[in-house]
């Protein structure tokens, strides 16, 4: 079940969230397989075009090139048809394919490649006969190329099919050219070896795609900049933490502990998933990221590690949306504290357990403001610092009113606080 509010934020249940993430991972695999298949189609078209030019030259000048009086036109006709089909594959792949269609084509295309190989072997035999068996080295090379091409496909079934068909084609060539058993076995082992190499390549490519899938999955937990650094240059994460100007939003549900006592643990988890899902959606929609969930509480940051223009306005707009949204899905009231200021963003922990987070007095003040909402009776409290940054923008969509000067726990100085009008 999903929850849709008038503001448009949608909270995903655990099962629907899993489906969404799985769909994103499948999309990564599909895109990588499509790119590989498209690259193979370019190579195929190039090789076939060169082959067509050679076939035309042989057909026009058979005496000079082969020492024969004539060459049957079927050589050129078959080559031309193969080129047209290969170009058609390029056009189809460039337009894009669904995952289901791509899986079907990954079976059809290897069959097409091996039919081309069969036609190539047959033409060589018809034109040259068995008088020039050295041409068999080219046959072995083509069989090996077709066999190893399966490694670029992310389907083990397609890679195995490609290898088996390439070996069958070589057996056909060995029969036509009347190879001795020893030579046929030696060359066949070469083709079979490249086929196994192709299947191993498929494993390597799949491992690469899994890494890309991991990148997609990690993006659900960390800012994009951090994810990119973790995969491209992991040591950058351990460099000197950076100082940023941000706005921090801290949330918490009222009387959640008492509320949770009346529910089964699974029901509590389901409730928190829906509740925190709504908040995370709002945060992401306004350009922030969730630093951490703390049970029924949340710490969100706007402006780090990636700079965010007008981060105070974005955070405040998100906080107001949270207050309105939670009323639609939760029987409990929520408190929200918003404060702007400097923080240090970086990795915290040891080599065995690292966490990317933000540290600083700005976070503490936002947490104190959230705690003060219980005493003052306002669901949202905004610091004077954030108010001034938002007020400087003269944003008509945000209207705040002062609730006076107040002392925060652990601080001697008072701070003027504001709430939504």
Indicate if 340 and 272 belong to the same structural domain.
yes
The whole model's pTM is what?
0.56
Q: How far is residue 365's CA from residue 381's CA, in Å, rounded to a whole number?
A: 11
199 versus 270: the higher-pLDDT residue is 270
Phi, psi of 413 (to 5 degrees): -80, 150
**Pick from 284, 359, 342, 387: nearest CA to 9:** 284
230 found inside a domain: no
Residue-level pLDDT at 28:
66
What is the rounded CA–CA span in Å between residue 249 and residue 370? 9
- If asked whether residues 192 and 308 sit together in one domain, one would say no
Domain stops at, among 218, 252, 282: 218
For residue 227, tell me if it sits in a domain. no
Is residue 250 domain-shared with residue 164, that is, in the same domain? no
Query: Which of 53-57, 80-84, 200-204, 209-213 is predicted with the least confidence, judged by mean pLDDT?
Result: 209-213
Task: Choose from 84-93, 202-211, 386-395 the range with maximum mean pLDDT.
Answer: 84-93
**Residues paired with 119 in a beta bridge:** none
- Residue 1 contacts by C-beta under 8 Å, 6 or more apart in sequence? 13
Domain that holds residue 205: 3-218
CB atoms closer than 10 angstroms to residue 88: 12
Whole-number pLDDT of residue 193: 85
Examine the domain organization and report whether 210 and 282 are in the same domain. Answer: no
The verdict on 208 and 307 lying in the same domain is no
Residue 280 domain flag: yes
Q: Read off the CATH number of the domain in which 260 is found.
A: 3.30.70.1230
309 and 207 in a common domain = no
pLDDT at 217 over 70: no
- Mark whether 30 and 148 lie in a shared domain: yes
Residue 33 inside a domain? The answer is yes
Three-class secondary structure assignment of the chain = CCEECCCCCEECCHHHHHHHHHHHHHHHHHHHHHHHHHHHHHHHHHHHHHHHHHHHHHHHCHHHHHCCCCCCCHHHHHHHHHHHHHHHHHHHHHHCCCHHHHHHHHHHHHHHHHHHHHHHHHHHHHHHCCCCHHHHHHHHHHHHHHHHHHHHCCCHHHHHHHHHHHHHHHHHHHHHCCCCHHHHHHHHHHHHHHHHHHHHHHHHHHHHHHHHHHHHHHCCCCCHHHHHHHHHCHHHHHCCCEEEEEEEEEEEECCHHHHHHCCCHHHHHHHHHHHHHHHHHHHHHCCCEEEEEECCEEEEEECCCCCCCCHHHHHHHHHHHHHHHHHHHCCCCEEEEEEEEEEEEEEEEECCEEEEEEECHHHHHHHHHHHHHHHHCCCEEEEHHHHHHHHHCCCCCCCEEEEEEEECCCCCCEEEEEEEC
What's the structural domain count of the chain?
Answer: 2
* pLDDT of 3 over the 50 cut: no
What is the mean predicted confidence (pLDDT) over 247-276? 89
The closest alpha carbon to 219, from 13, 7, 27, belongs to 27
Least confident of 140-149, 167-176, 249-258, 400-409: 140-149
The verdict on 207 and 260 lying in the same domain is no
Residue 226 lies in a domain: no
Is 410 domain-assigned? yes
Contacts of 409 (CB under 8 A, 6+ apart): 368, 371
Same domain assignment for residues 173 and 252: no
Residue 159 sits in the same domain as residue 248: no
Whether residue 170 lies inside any domain: the answer is yes
- Of 155, 187, 218, the position where a domain reaches its end is 218
CA dist., res. 125 & res. 331, Å (int): 81
- Judged by average pLDDT, the poorest of 159-168, 190-199, 280-289, 328-337 is 190-199
pLDDT in tens, 102-150: 777 778 888 888 888 888 888 777 777 665 555 677 788 888 888 888 7
Question: Tens of pLDDT along 332-346?
Answer: 999 999 999 999 887
With a cut of 80, say whether residue 362 has pLDDT above it. Answer: yes
192 and 249 in one domain? no
Residue 392 banded pLDDT, cuts 50, 70, 90: confident
Query: 165 lies in a domain?
Result: yes
pLDDT tier for residue 209 given thresholds of 50, 70 and 90: low
* Cα separation, 34 vs 99, whole angstroms: 9
- In whole angstroms, give the CA distance from residue 324 to residue 343: 28
Does residue 253 sit in the same domain as residue 207? no
In whole numbers, what is the pLDDT of the chain averaged over residues? 80
**DSSP bridge partners of 416:** 405
pLDDT over threshold 70, residue 223: no
Looking at 190, 218, 246, the residue that finishes a domain is 218
């Amino acid at each position: 079940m999903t929850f849709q509010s008038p503001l448009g934020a949608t909270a995903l249940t655990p099962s629907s969230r899993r489906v969404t993430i799985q769909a994103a991972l499948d999309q990564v695999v599909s895109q990588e397989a499509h790119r590989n298949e498209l690259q193979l189609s370019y190579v195929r078209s190039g090789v076939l075009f060169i082959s067509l030019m050679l076939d035309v030259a042989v057909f026009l000048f058979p005496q000079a090139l082969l020492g024969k009086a004539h060459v049957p036109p079927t050589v050129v006709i078959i080559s031309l048809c193969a080129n047209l089909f290969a170009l058609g594959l390029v056009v189809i792949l460039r337009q894009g394919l669904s995952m289901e269609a791509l899986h079907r084509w990954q079976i059809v295309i290897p069959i097409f490649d091996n039919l081309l190989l069969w036609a190539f072997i047959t033409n060589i035999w018809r034109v040259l006969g068995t008088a020039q068996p050295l041409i068999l080295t080219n046959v072995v090379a083509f069989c090996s190329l077709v066999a190893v091409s399966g490694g670029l496909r992310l389907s083990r079934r397609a890679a195995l099919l490609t290898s088996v068909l390439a070996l069958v084609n070589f057996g056909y060539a060995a029969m036509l050219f009347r190879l001795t058993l020893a030579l046929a076995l030696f060359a066949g082992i070469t083709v079979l070896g490249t086929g196994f190499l192709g299947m191993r390549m498929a494993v390597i490519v799949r491992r690469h795609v899994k890494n890309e899938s991991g990148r997609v999955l990690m993006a659900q937990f960390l800012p994009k900049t951090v994810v990119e650094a973790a995969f491209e240059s992991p040591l950058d994460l351990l460099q000197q933490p950076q100082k940023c100007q941000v706005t921090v939003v801290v949330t918490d549900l009222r009387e959640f502990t008492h509320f949770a006592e009346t529910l089964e643990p699974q029901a509590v988890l389901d409730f928190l998933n829906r509740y925190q899902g709504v908040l995370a959606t709002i945060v992401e929609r306004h350009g922030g990221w969730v630093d951490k969930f703390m049970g029924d509480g949340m710490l969100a940051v706007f402006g780090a590690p990636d700079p965010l223009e007008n981060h105070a306005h974005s955070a405040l707009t998100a906080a107001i949306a949270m207050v309105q949204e939670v009323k639609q899905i939760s029987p409990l009231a929520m408190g929200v504290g918003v404060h702007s200021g400097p923080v240090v963003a970086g990795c915290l922990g040891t080599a065995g357990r690292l966490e990317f987070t933000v540290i600083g007095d700005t976070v503490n003040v936002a947490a104190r403001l959230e705690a003060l909402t219980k005493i003052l009776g306002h669901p949202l409290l905004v610091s004077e610092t954030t108010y001034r940054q938002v007020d400087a923008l003269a944003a008509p969509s945000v209207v705040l009113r002062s609730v006076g000067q107040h002392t925060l726990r652990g601080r001697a100085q008072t701070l003027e606080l504001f709430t939504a009008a």
